[in-house]
Chain A
Amino acid sequence: MGPIRIEPQKALDEALKLQQKLSAGAQTLRSLDPVTFGVTPKEAVYKDDKVTLYRFRGERPATTKTPLLICYALVNTPYMVDLQDDRSMVKNLLALGQDVYLIDWGYPDGSDKYLNLDDYINGYLRRCVEFLRKSHSVDAINLLGICQGGAFSLCFSAIYPEKIKNLVTMVTPVDFHTPDNMLSHWVRELDVDLFVDTLGNIPADLMNYCYLTLKPMRLNQQKYIGLVDILDNKTELENFLRMEKWIFDSPDQAGEAFRQFIKDFYQGNKLLKGGLQIGDKSVDLKNVRAPVLNIFAEQDHLVPPAASRALKDVVGSSDYSQIAFKGGHIGIYVSSRAQREVPPAIHDWLAKRS
């Protein structure tokens, strides 16, 4: 018996269904409003060059004394955590009583080409933390780092352990040399100096192209075949386009910060192995003394789970917990499962350590 048995009528039904969806799409696509994201009310409470610190406003006042600062990656915009009303980690954390702040790194331009990791971690991030310590009259804050922002948060917690009460890392790479890390594999022999000297800031389009080539057939082809299925559903189509906007509305990367991140983290694996310097400060993860909650995604193709799991063996904290989430790098923020599981897990863990 052959492996495929397609009845002609069924195949034609598939073709006609595709045709109908496309036909409906001709109407739906014309009726869509411009895509927006970032739904929870917020106010800018601190500005530092292009960096803005936002405080989110929940429907009721926060019940926690210690503010929770979200430190996102430099790549992509931070609104993945507040994408839409029913897909918002921020909204769910606020509902649980957290006082949530977020750093928006902004869109670097040519004048920011020479921003380095010292500027980002010992500069912007530290000053945001200082602002919160002062405005909340607390010695230490809760820090939630995401992806590259998680790596920054680990560096910060190691350099300034007294300023961090609790640390949550999400999909954060620690071991950059796990065998399944495709991105790391590709940049290992790259001449980063030539790359940055030539390009200056690294264009967002180039970064996105690189991410798409991690799974080219799935992300550039199968995804859009799947899109045909929802062409007749305005709500789902808007959700799709919102995600699409988030993926491609990305900031360029400040050249010097990119150079150092690739050299020290991706090529040198210094966050794990040691020897990492951020400005004049040494980073040793053994200095991270705050309780740590490490959340990673089991199907993450950008930050493989093993890259995050490595934190357990190198962090100095005696209070370490980890959660393996069933999903991918993006699903951990936007899937329905994530809405149900992730914010309560973070809140409960913090509440026990308040």
Chain B
Amino acid sequence: MSNSAQDWINQWQALSQRYWDGWKTQGVMPPAGFGKADANAPWQAGLDQWAQLFGKGNSQSDLVDRVTANAKSYVALMQSMLNTSVGQDGGGSAAAWTEAVRNGFNIPGMDASLWNNPLGTNFRDMAGQGAKGFEQMMAEFGRGAGPFKQEMLAGLGMPAFGLAREHQERWQQLGSAMVEYQEQTNRYNTLILKSSQQGFERFQSKLAEREEPGRQLDSVRAVYDLWIDAAEEAYAEIALSDEFRTVYAAMVNAQMRVRSLMQTEVEQQTRQLGMPTRTELKGVEKSVQELRRHLKASREASAADMAGEIAALRAEVDALKQQVAQSAPAAAPRPAAAAVNPPEAAKPAAAAKKTKR
């Protein structure tokens, strides 16, 4: 080992110690077994303990979880890159750095099926709470059914007999739909994995462009941002492909078929227990909406009728007022003084004239 490489390692270990010392001042302890000379202790371990400082149930705990999850990836990436730097003195190739980034995303303890697949990891982290129950159930199904798929499919195609035949056919449909959903999900996941791989390839070419003097990246954040650009570009290309469009729709449609058949099963059970079913409720909701529309239309129509009627009555009153006003002087010509103090009979017409619209 050259002196400069040894110097770098010494320096790196000293810096790593400072990193952990920084955490210790905040009450976060390094992982068990961490010694002064251990530069390989996973830096992201500090983040878990940082998150625990908030406890659960804190109003910002979702945000803390999200920050922690992403900062862990970032810190692991940071550490992986620094480990790669040992002895390279800025001379590492784009391929070597790409490998460092790839390794940075493979955090020990993570689901091995997501190894080298940061986009897949991202999607799993993103899944909303509402989706988890269903996804977990399907994952369990996949694990259980996977090894027996052929036998299961053969069983699902068997004819049904006797009293329970209708029920059996429904269960067979549900089983087939679940298998279909698994298959479509696998097709989708294959494309996501492909996107991750192409992301690394793009990243490598983007890095190669940075080999020109003066264009080198000099911070982990800059490397990280370049990786994000590459990953998004690769994903966008796949997500806008005809293949993705078909696979995506097939996966969503397959999931909807499973959900729909499960709803039917739940309805079977609730009906037998004398509870209202979703179908019945939908029928009521549809009727309510139709009544609502009808009521609004009737109100508007009657308001329009009323307005028309009022307008017609006003016109009639106006016409009558005009008639009265025109006929009154002709019927009884008065002396000039009478106009100053009109007789009682003439007063309503005069009053009406004042309020004429």
Contacts from A to B (Cβ < 8 Å): 1-12, 14-16, 18-20, 22-23, 25-26, 29-30, 32, 34, 49, 110-115, 119, 123, 179-180, 182, 185-191, 194-195, 197-200, 203, 205-206, 208-209, 212-218, 220-222, 224-225, 227-228, 231, 241, 244
Once A2-B88, A8-B11, A11-B220 are accepted as A-B contacts, the answer to whether A241 and B63 lie under 8 Å apart by CB is yes
Contact A3–B217 (Cβ < 8 Å): yes
Find out whether the CB atom of A4 lies under 8 angstroms from the CB atom of B216: yes
Q: Which residue of B lies closest to A216 (CB)?
A: B122
User: Are A2 and B90 in contact, CB atoms less than 8 angstroms apart?
Assistant: yes
User: Is there contact, CB below 8 Å, between A111 and B288?
Assistant: yes
Cα distance A215–B213 when bound, in Å?
32
Which residues of B sit under 8 angstroms from A179, Cβ to Cβ? Answer: 240
**Chain A residues, CB < 8 A from B88:** 2
B: contact size bracket: 35 or more
Interfacial residues of chain B within 185-230, with CB under 8 A of chain A in the complex: 207-211, 213, 215-221, 223-225, 228
Contact A205 B131 (CB under 8 A): yes
B249 A5 Cβ-Cβ under 8 A? no
Alpha-carbon gap, A110 to B220, bound state (A): 49
Instruction: Tell me, in angstroms, the Cα distance from A7 to B81 when the chains sit together.
Output: 11
Chain B residues in contact with chain A, CB under 8 A? 8, 11-12, 15-16, 18-19, 22-23, 26, 43, 46-47, 50, 53-54, 58-60, 63-64, 66-67, 69-71, 73-75, 78, 81-82, 85, 88, 90-94, 96-97, 118-119, 122-123, 125-131, 207-211, 213, 215-221, 223-225, 228, 231-232, 235-236, 239-240, 244-246, 248-250, 252-253, 256-257, 259-260, 263, 281-282, 285-286, 288-290, 292-293, 296
Is the CB–CB distance between A10 and B218 below 8 Å?
yes
Q: Kindly provide the distance from the CB of B14 to the nearest chain A CB, expressed in whole angstroms.
A: 9
With A26-B54, A217-B122 already in contact, the answer to whether A2 and B216 are too (CB < 8 A) is yes
- Is the CB–CB distance between A11 and B82 below 8 Å? yes
Bound Cα distance A32, B235 (Å): 36
Instruction: Report if A123-B73 is in contact (Cβ < 8 Å); known contacts: A19-B19, A209-B128.
Output: no
**Which residue from chain A places its CB closest to the CB of B77 in the assembled complex?**
A225
Contact A26 B26 (CB under 8 A): yes
Neighbour of B91 across the interface among A2, A25, A114, A208, CB < 8 A:
A2
A26 to B25, CA, bound (A): 13
A186 CB contacts on chain B under 8 angstroms: 239, 244-245, 248-249
Within the assembled complex, what's the spacing in Å between the Cα atoms of A209 and B281? 28
**Contact yes or no, B97 A4, CB < 8 A:** yes
